[in-house]
């Protein structure tokens, strides 16, 4: 009985891992590849040559499968447009030829062109996948911290950093490659050099909204169904977008969703203790630095270089910087968390002055963070190259060295995290914007 259940479970997993389901979903959503005509679609259920067991990371060639008869399609706004009639759609359906999103400057992977038959879904799922990318978090966490609730933002950063570490480390232990292309169309190629199981986008896209819901419900006044609905919609959008982008199989997205809930179930009950320890304990700065650096060293030793190394160090570095800033703020008496007697909190009346003040804080703060990141990147890479005797004329090659990439990411993003939580609020105080 037990053996039969295990075999059935394995069969279901293999079925959900089949890239043909990703390709079918993409076609359903109006994404079609420009693969060579000589390629024939595999029968559903038949494994790809690299499917069993541990898989090698596959780097797609930038010229693979380009061109099969649409070279003459005119360009519109950086994309090519074709008013060809869709056989299964309206008589004047618009078809847009596009290239994969977010070319990765470190890997040089540019992917291959594809056709978009449904622009609304393309923009919707592009937005969904951005909810798990660096630029979203460099905007979302500061806005929450500066304008809404600093305590919630601090604790969300803790969950995000640890969630990212667990997910990326698991990827490099399982070592499954991305869904095979063809049949899958790579709408995005930025993370194509990483391993695939589980989806860390699905993990962060689930952990952040549900943790936000659990931290704010009861602390702020709003209906339960509203908060839960927003969290669920956010999570589903991110998860489905990863299948649409061709970056993950259905199994990997489901695993990422469930895995993040497991991580959240572990951290949620102790977030209050972690936050208090970071702020109040005399040895907290030492513990923060040692723990975050040690975890990064473990992650970097798992396998060869990939973009997941930088993401792991970036998350841990941001978490360390924010935690150190929380300690400094507490010791200097700069924390202004509302007293428990004032709970539950309510949104103040939305006035023109309040909106303008919030937008001004946000604009100034993000500008400071982006400038800090830019300066720290330039200075840190140059310093590390000189320190280790590496040529500084090829930044891409230098950053693929562990001894450069690890301290580079830690230094840059720990400073960004510290600036967000400590330096920028002090700047607001000086400018009378606190």
117 is catalytic: no
Instruction: Give every strand in the sheet of 114-116, ordered side by side.
Output: 31-33, 114-116, 95-98, 79-82, 75-76
pLDDT, position 57: 43
Catalytic residue among 21, 248, 292, 327: 248
Residues 234-251 as b or e (16 or more Cβ within 10 Å = b): bbbbbbbbbbbbbbbbbb
pLDDT, position 229: 94
pLDDT, position 90: 40
Strands (E), 24-150: 31-33, 75-76, 79-82, 95-98, 114-116
Residue 257 to residue 209: CA distance in whole angstroms:
12
Residue 330 to residue 279: CA distance in whole angstroms:
6
Spell out the alpha helix ranges (H) of 148-221: 150-174, 200-216
pLDDT, position 63: 40
Catalytic residue among 21, 117, 201, 292: 201
CB of 184 closer than 8 Å to CB of 24 = no
Query: What is the SS3 assignment for 97?
Result: strand
Pairing of strands 75-76, 95-98: unpaired
Q: How many CA atoms lie within 13 A of 211 on its CB side?
A: 32
pLDDT, position 259: 92
DSSP 33: E
Rg of the chain over CA atoms, in angstroms? Answer: 23
Report the Cα 59 to chain-centroid distance in Å. 20
21 is catalytic: no
pLDDT, position 48: 45
Report in angstroms the alpha-carbon separations of 397 from 56, 62, 305, 402, 409: 21, 19, 11, 11, 15
Q: Say what the pTM is.
A: 0.80
Per-residue tens of pLDDT for the chain, all 434 residues: 667 788 888 888 888 888 899 999 999 998 887 766 555 554 444 444 434 334 444 444 334 433 333 433 333 333 444 433 344 444 335 787 776 666 655 555 666 777 888 889 999 998 998 888 877 887 888 899 888 888 999 899 999 988 888 888 888 788 888 888 788 888 887 777 778 888 988 999 999 999 999 999 988 888 999 999 999 999 999 999 999 988 888 999 999 999 999 989 988 889 999 989 999 889 999 999 988 888 777 766 555 556 667 778 888 888 999 999 999 988 888 877 777 777 787 887 888 888 898 899 999 998 999 899 889 888 888 888 888 777 766 666 666 677 777 888 888 899 999 999 999 999 988 888 87
């Amino acid at each position: 009985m037990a053996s039969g259940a295990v075999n059935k479970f394995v069969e279901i997993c293999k079925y959900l891992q089949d890239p043909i389901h990703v390709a079918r979903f993409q076609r359903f959503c109006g994404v079609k590849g420009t693969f060579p005509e000589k390629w024939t679609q595999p029968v559903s259920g038949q494994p790809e040559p690299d499917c069993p067991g541990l898989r090698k990371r596959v780097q797609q060639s930038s010229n693979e499968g380009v061109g099969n008869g649409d070279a003459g399609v005119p360009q519109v706004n950086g994309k090519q447009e074709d008013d060809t009639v869709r056989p299964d759609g309206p008589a004047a359906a618009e078809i847009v030829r596009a290239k994969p999103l977010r070319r990765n400057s470190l890997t040089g992977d540019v992917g291959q062109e594809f056709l978009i038959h449904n622009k609304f879904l393309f923009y919707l799922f592009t937005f969904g996948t951005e909810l798990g990318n660096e630029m979203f978090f460099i905007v979302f966490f500061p806005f929450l911290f500066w304008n809404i609730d600093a305590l919630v933002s601090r604790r969300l950063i803790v969950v995000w950093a640890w969630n990212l570490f667990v997910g990326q480390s698991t990827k490099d232990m399982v070592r499954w490659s991305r869904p095979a292309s063809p049949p899958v169309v790579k709408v995005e190629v930025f993370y194509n050099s990483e391993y695939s199981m589980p989806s860390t986008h699905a993990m962060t896209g689930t952990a952040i909204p549900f943790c936000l819901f659990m931290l704010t419900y009861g602390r702020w006044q709003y209906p339960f169904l509203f908060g839960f609905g927003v969290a669920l919609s956010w999570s589903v959008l991110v998860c489905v977008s990863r299948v649409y982008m061709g970056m993950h199989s259905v199994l990997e997205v489901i695993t990422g969703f469930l895995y993040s809930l497991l991580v959240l179930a572990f951290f949620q009950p102790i977030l209050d203790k972690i936050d208090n320890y970071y702020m109040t304990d005399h040895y907290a700065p030492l513990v923060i630095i040692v723990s975050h650096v040690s975890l990064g060293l473990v992650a970097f030793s798992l396998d060869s270089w990939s973009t997941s190394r930088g993401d792991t160090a970036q998350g841990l570095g941001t978490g360390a910087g924010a935690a150190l800033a929380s300690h400094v703020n507490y010791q200097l008496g700069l924390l202004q968390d509302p007293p428990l007697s004032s709970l539950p909190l309510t949104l103040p009346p939305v006035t023109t002055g309040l909106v303008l003040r919030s937008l001004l804080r946000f604009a100034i703060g993000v500008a400071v963070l982006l400038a800090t990141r830019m300066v720290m990147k330039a200075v840190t890479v140059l310093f590390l190259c000189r320190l280790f005797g590496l040529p500084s004329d090829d930044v891409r090659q230098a950053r693929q060295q562990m001894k450069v990439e690890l301290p580079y990411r830690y230094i840059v993003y720990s400073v960004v995290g510290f600036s967000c939580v400590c330096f920028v609020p002090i700047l607001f105080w000086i400018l009378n914007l606190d």
